[in-house]
Amino acid sequence: DVVLTQSPATLSVTPGERISLSCRASESVDTYLHWYQQKPNESPRLLIKYASQSISGIPSRFSGSGSGTDFTLSINGVELEDLSIYYCQQGNSLPFTFGSGTKLEIK
């Protein structure tokens, strides 16, 4: 199974900051890497698909990059509503797998 390692586990941020979250795959997943946001007591929400493709309705401050084994989710100007856990997920091979998440908290 493909293991996805996310770092850091927790990130303390100040509103307005530009931040980057990392997801590293144990083997190449090409660009079959997707990002989700999960707010407390809510279901996950698809943020970015295929490493860098935007999703309708998602604010433009969210962007993704990478291919192969190294991926980044960036938030350009963090807002309070962005405080959540972010998960990456690979869809290159079965079983689909998720990372353990990066939790964004206020500094």
Partner 1 sequence: QVQLKESGPGLVQPSETLSLTCTVSGFSLTSYSVSWVRQPSGKGPEWMGRMWYDGDTAYNSALKSRLSISRDTSKNQVFLKMNSLQTDDTGTYYCTRDLWETFDYWGQGVMVTVSS
Q: How far is the CB of 16 from partner 1 (least distance, A)?
A: 28
| 49 forms part of the interface with partner 1 (CB under 8 A) | yes
Q: What is the DSSP letter of 84?
A: S
What residues pair up with 13 in beta bridges, in sequence order?
A: 106
Contact 103, 9 (CB under 8 A): yes
Q: Which of 2, 11, 36, 75 binds partner 1 (CB under 8 A)?
A: 36
| 84 forms part of the interface with partner 1 (CB under 8 A) | no
| 58 forms part of the interface with partner 1 (CB under 8 A) | no
Q: Which is nearer to partner 1, 16 or 95 (CB)?
A: 95
Q: Which of 51, 87, 104, 106 binds partner 1 (CB under 8 A)?
A: 87
| 34 forms part of the interface with partner 1 (CB under 8 A) | yes
Contact 89, 98 (CB under 8 A): yes
Pairwise CA distance, residues 28 & 38, whole Å: 25
Q: Which of helix, strand or coil describes residue 100?
A: coil
| 24 forms part of the interface with partner 1 (CB under 8 A) | no
